[in-house]
Amino acid sequence: MRYALFLRGINVGRIRVPMADLRALLTGLGLGDVTTWLNTGNAAFTSDESAGTLRPRIEAALAERFGYAAFAQVIPHERLAAIVADCPFPVREGWHRYVIFCDETAVRDELAAAANQLGTGKRADGAFEQVAPGEGVLYWSCPKGSTVGTPFAAVLAKTRFKASTTNRNIQTLAKMV
């Protein structure tokens, strides 16, 4: 089976994971056809194991090799294709569309409820961010240049969500598909 791998919080702060080293680590775990994308923490590979078996193995290997508390999402390729296809927000000039991968349904539901409480997140220039639940994910659309400054971004940045979420631009996911 083909899988996509998303690592949270690497190559943006103190945690550095060179993609050549990530490819070597994944290959050393017996995974096949390993591909990585730039310094994103995104990879794809093949394996006969389940995502549930792969995730703790990959996280443990990353923690041992790079010395950090690794957080990984392992998504079957077919599921990733469905996530991209199901995005409810249209492509719009000047806007980003993101997928927020959530470890647990309760986390996704809490984030969706928080987004509903925030309303539309209207900015001074009249633009609105949008959040919509999907199967195991949230979809988020916001004006370019506001990704870290919207009301929903402030909720998503809370410490309690960091260990169970990671987000990716849907254009990146489409390229991976």
pLDDT for position 125: 53
pLDDT for position 64: 94
Task: Report the alpha-carbon distance of residue 162 to residue 100 in Å, rounded.
Answer: 11
Domain ranges (residues) in the chain = 2-81, 86-176
2-81, what's its fold?
Alpha-Beta Plaits (3.30.70)
pLDDT for position 164: 85
pLDDT in tens, 118-134: 765 555 555 678 899 99
pLDDT in tens, 60-117: 999 999 888 888 999 999 999 999 999 999 999 999 999 999 988 999 999 999 888 8
Which residues does residue 138 pair with via DSSP β-bridges, in sequence order? 100, 133
- Sequence-separated (6 or more) residues with CB below 8 Å from residue 66: 15, 16, 17, 21
Rounded to two decimals, the pTM is: 0.88
SS3 at position 13: coil
pLDDT in tens, 17-67: 888 999 999 999 999 999 998 777 899 999 999 999 999 999 999 999 988
Task: Report the alpha-carbon distance of residue 71 to residue 165 in Å, rounded.
Answer: 9
pLDDT for position 117: 82
Q: In CATH terms, are 2-81 and 86-176 the same topology? A: yes
pLDDT for position 126: 53
Q: If residue 165 lies in a helix (H) or strand (E), which one and from where to where?
A: strand 165-169
CA angle 40, 128, 157 (to 5 degrees): 45
Per the document, the length of the chain is 177
Overall CATH class of domain 86-176: alpha beta
